[in-house]
């Protein structure tokens, strides 16, 4: 590198020979003038290829040592010593297969006897009668032993456990309002303390769903109860549940570590809290204690209550399973289990958690299922856990009754906010349902800015905010609550006169539960649904499934009809 001129000693680029001054390629020595390849030294003085031994001069493979003569494998015969393939015994001569016939001796498929449908049915019957870990023993109707679907009347035998069963069509004992005239809770079998407490809570006489189910609950039967939201289902299972616990164990007072003997499962925190507000005073009237358990809040207080001892747990499935897995809760002494809004729990994906929870309760525990609708996944719970349940429904309690006025307004999308503002401007309590959390917040802010006291309720709020906002409506500090479907079930606010569905529901059950927020306990209420004209046919189908007849009218902001509906909500 030191002999090469530095960059500074090199001639400038303009002093170098240009390409045109360089000799042409024809003036360079031709390839033929270069020394031949044979005059070059061989690589490493290797002998020419002609001096290497030819392949034919190498020793034959037979002269090489056999594999059997090599070190660790000396015990093996060499390949050369093995017999030819033709000398080996055929497959038919080998010992393991010597008793088998050749394929030609077996009957062909066409010669085998055909297998009839009766043969298959017989074999399935034999398998079912034997029973096993994979195929539980079943009865003549095809249901697992102990299943209850075959015992709820002749209609139940037509449904299988895996089918999309609509339990609303099962034969049920129907109760009407006229059947419970002049009846009292004492006549149904409830004690004096509980009867007095119910009267103090504003329930001096039973509603039809209560009169229908309380005697069967007190008799220890499994019960399926169906009635509309607001028909009094909480008292229907809460009051007899407390009475039964008193019959089984009359000891009063809280004992440290006392295990719970009754469990009420609900799909949402709001519904669990509402149930506790109803059942707790009934239980306290006879010296029993309740403990609500749900997520969204620290579990410390809930664990402390369990350690002090409790009689009745009101819980959501998620937090309940967490405490069971932590070893802080034992369900082995639970004798009565209530599933409230069972269909909604299945819709939310709680079917398997509920099944796991029920399997941890006492084997002979009493099961009560109450809901406004009973269908689909509830069938699996009925088939597995309920034994000969009594099925009750309440006639005259559907959403088309005269206590609720159903209206559908056909609007232009651009007019929606103005029409909602006009409807919600009354002095009465109004509940507005929106599909998304963002729209609920925007609508609440819009109404508040327009001078209509409003707040919102949706899943993005923590439990403290949700409780506070609901309390604002309950206390009358705001007139309007804008909510997502988190408020469609389990929200009980007295005197909600108007329900506005800013976004129409996608299924009829949601419509039923939304509209059930008004017209509760026989009071008057109005439900207004806003839709575009393009959704009219779909809305007709939804109302048809819900068995509701509603008036449909086209409106624009400022119409007299809107003022009339707003006045109805006062």
Q: Residue 74's pLDDT is what?
A: 47
Q: End of a domain among 343, 372, 394? A: 394
Give me the CATH number covering residue 352. 3.40.50.300
Confidence class for position 509, pLDDT limits 50, 70, 90 = confident
Distance CA 215, CA 236 (A): 10
Specify whether the backbone of 200 is left (phi greater than 0), alpha (psi in -120 to 50) or beta.
alpha
Confidence class for position 383, pLDDT limits 50, 70, 90 = confident
Mark whether 371 and 411 lie in a shared domain: no
Residues 69-98 have a mean pLDDT of 52
Q: End of a domain among 368, 394, 420? A: 394
Mark whether 229 and 175 lie in a shared domain: yes
Residues 423-434 have a mean pLDDT of 89
Q: Of 385-394, 395-404, 431-440, which gets the smallest average pLDDT?
A: 395-404
Is the distance from CB of 239 to CB of 194 less than 8 angstroms? yes
Residue 24 within any structural domain of the chain: no
Burial letters 394-414, b for 16+ CB under 10 A, else e: beebebeeebbbbbbbbbeee
Residue 154 within any structural domain of the chain: no
Mark whether 278 and 334 lie in a shared domain: yes
**Does the structure show a pLDDT above 70 at 333?**
yes
Mark whether 190 and 268 lie in a shared domain: yes
Stretch (H or E) spanning 21: none
Is the distance from CB of 223 to CB of 213 less than 8 angstroms? yes
Residue 153 within any structural domain of the chain: no
Residue 106 within any structural domain of the chain: no
Q: Residue 523's pLDDT is what?
A: 72
Q: pLDDT per residue over 110-153, tens digit each?
A: 555 554 434 433 443 343 333 333 333 433 333 333 333 333 33
Mark whether 449 and 539 lie in a shared domain: yes
Residues 178-197 have a mean pLDDT of 84
Mean pLDDT is highest, among 45-54, 140-149, 354-363, for: 354-363
**Does the structure show a pLDDT above 80 at 109?**
no
Mark whether 427 and 564 lie in a shared domain: yes
Residues 421-426 have a mean pLDDT of 90
Of 8 and 247, more confident: 247
**Does the structure show a pLDDT above 50 at 238?**
yes
**Strand ranges in 113-239 using DSSP code E only, listed in sequence order:** 173-175, 223-226
Q: pLDDT per residue over 442-471, tens digit each?
A: 999 999 999 999 999 888 888 788 888 888
Distance CA 456, CA 448 (A): 11
Q: Residue 183's pLDDT is what?
A: 84
Of 348 and 128, more confident: 348
Residue 73 within any structural domain of the chain: no
Residues 501-528 have a mean pLDDT of 82
pLDDT over 70 for what percent of the chain? 61
Residues 490-502 have a mean pLDDT of 80
**Does the structure show a pLDDT above 70 at 187?**
yes
Q: End of a domain among 359, 376, 394? A: 394
Q: 213 burial class (0-12, 13-18, 19+ CB within 10 angstroms)? A: buried
Distance CA 285, CA 45 (A): 113
Question: How many structural domains comprise the chain?
Answer: 2
Residue 226 within any structural domain of the chain: yes
Mark whether 345 and 491 lie in a shared domain: no
**Does the structure show a pLDDT above 70 at 11?**
no
* Domain region containing 283: 169-394
Q: Residue 546's pLDDT is what?
A: 81
Mean pLDDT is highest, among 248-257, 314-323, 471-480, for: 314-323
Residues 367-379 have a mean pLDDT of 76
Q: Residue 471's pLDDT is what?
A: 87
Mark whether 520 and 411 lie in a shared domain: yes
Mean pLDDT is highest, among 3-7, 229-233, 242-246, 520-524, for: 242-246
**Does the structure show a pLDDT above 70 at 70?**
no
Residue 210 within any structural domain of the chain: yes
Of 547 and 534, more confident: 534
Confidence class for position 388, pLDDT limits 50, 70, 90 = confident
Alpha helices (runs of H) in 141-227, residue ranges in sequence order: 185-188, 192-200, 208-218
Residues 292-320 have a mean pLDDT of 93
Residue 85 within any structural domain of the chain: no
Tell me how far CA of residue 265 lies from CA of 167, 238, 296, in angstroms.
Answer: 20, 12, 16
Mark whether 524 and 434 lie in a shared domain: yes
Is the distance from CB of 74 to CB of 68 less than 8 angstroms? yes
Mark whether 187 and 330 lie in a shared domain: yes
Q: How far, rounded to the nearest angstrom, does the alpha carbon of residue 91 sit from its chain's CA centroid?
A: 58
Mean residue pLDDT across the chain: 75
**Does the structure show a pLDDT above 50 at 31?**
yes
**Does the structure show a pLDDT above 60 at 248?**
yes
Mark whether 408 and 529 lie in a shared domain: yes
Q: Residue 153's pLDDT is what?
A: 36
Q: Residue 169's pLDDT is what?
A: 43
Mark whether 380 and 457 lie in a shared domain: no
């Amino acid at each position: 590198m030191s002999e090469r001129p530095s960059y500074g000693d090199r001639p400038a680029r303009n002093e170098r020979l240009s390409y045109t001054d360089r000799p042409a390629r024809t003036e360079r020595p031709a390839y033929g003038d270069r020394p031949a390849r044979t005059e070059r030294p061989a690589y490493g003085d290797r002998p020419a290829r002609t001096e290497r031994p030819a392949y034919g001069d190498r020793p034959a493979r037979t002269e090489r040592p056999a594999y059997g003569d090599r070190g660790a494998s000396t015990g093996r015969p060499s390949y050369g010593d093995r017999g030819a393939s033709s000398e080996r015994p055929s497959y038919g001569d080998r010992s393991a297969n010597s008793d088998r016939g050749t394929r030609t001796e077996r009957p062909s498929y066409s010669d085998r006897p055909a297998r009839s449908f009766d043969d298959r049915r017989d074999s399935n019957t034999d398998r079912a009668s034997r029973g096993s870990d994979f195929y539980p023993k079943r009865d003549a109707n095809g249901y697992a032993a102990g299943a209850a679907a075959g015992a709820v009347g002749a209609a139940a035998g037509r449904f299988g456990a895996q089918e999309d069963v609509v339990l609303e069509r099962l034969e049920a004992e129907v109760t009407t309002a006229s059947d419970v005239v002049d009846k009292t809770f004492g006549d149904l079998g409830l004690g004096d303390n509980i009867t007095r407490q119910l009267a103090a809570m504003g329930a001096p006489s039973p509603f039809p769903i209560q009169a229908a189910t309380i005697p069967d609950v007190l008799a220890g039967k499994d019960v399926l109860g169906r009635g509309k939201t607001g028909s009094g289902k909480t008292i229907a299972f809460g009051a007899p549940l407390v009475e039964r616990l008193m019959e089984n164990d009359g000891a009063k007072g809280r004992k440290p570590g006392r295990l719970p003997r009754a469990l009420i499962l609900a799909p949402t925190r709001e519904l669990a809290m509402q149930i506790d507000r109803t059942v707790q005073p009934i239980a306290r009237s006879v010296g029993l204690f309740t403990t609500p358990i749900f997520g969204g809040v620290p579990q410390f207080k809930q664990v402390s209550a369990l350690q002090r001892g409790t009689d009745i747990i009101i819980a959501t499935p998620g937090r309940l399973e967490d405490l069971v897995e932590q070893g802080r809760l034992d369900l082995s002494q639970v004798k009565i289990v209530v599933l409230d809004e069972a269909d909604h729990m299945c819709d939310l994906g709680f079917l398997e958690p509920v099944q796991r929870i029920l399997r941890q309760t006492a084997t002979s525990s009493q099961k009560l299922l109450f809901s406004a609708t009973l269908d689909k996944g509830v069938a699996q719970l009925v088939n597995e856990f309920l034994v000969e349940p009594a099925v009750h429904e309440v006639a005259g309690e559907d959403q088309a009754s005269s206590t609720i006025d159903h209206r559908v307004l056909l609007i232009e999308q651009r007019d929606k906010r103005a029409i909602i503002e006009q409807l919600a401007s009354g002095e009465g309590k109004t509940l507005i349902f929106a599909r998304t959390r963002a729209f609920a917040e925007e609508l609440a802010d819009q109404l508040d800015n327009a001078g209509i006291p409003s707040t919102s309720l949706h899943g993005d709020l923590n439990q403290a905010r949700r409780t506070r906002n609901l309390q604002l409506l309950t206390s009358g500090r705001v007139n309007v609550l804008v909510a997502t479907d988190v408020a469609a079930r389990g929200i009980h606010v007295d005197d909600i006169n108007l329900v506005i569905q800013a976004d129409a529901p996608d299924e009829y059950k949601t419509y039923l539960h939304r509209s059930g927020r008004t017209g509760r306990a026989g009071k008057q209420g109005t439900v207004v649904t806003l839709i575009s004209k393009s959704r009219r046919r779909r809305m007709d189908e939804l109302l048809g499934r819900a068995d509701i007849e509603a008036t449909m009218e086209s409106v624009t902001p400022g119409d007299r009809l809107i003022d009339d509906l707003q006045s109805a909500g006062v």
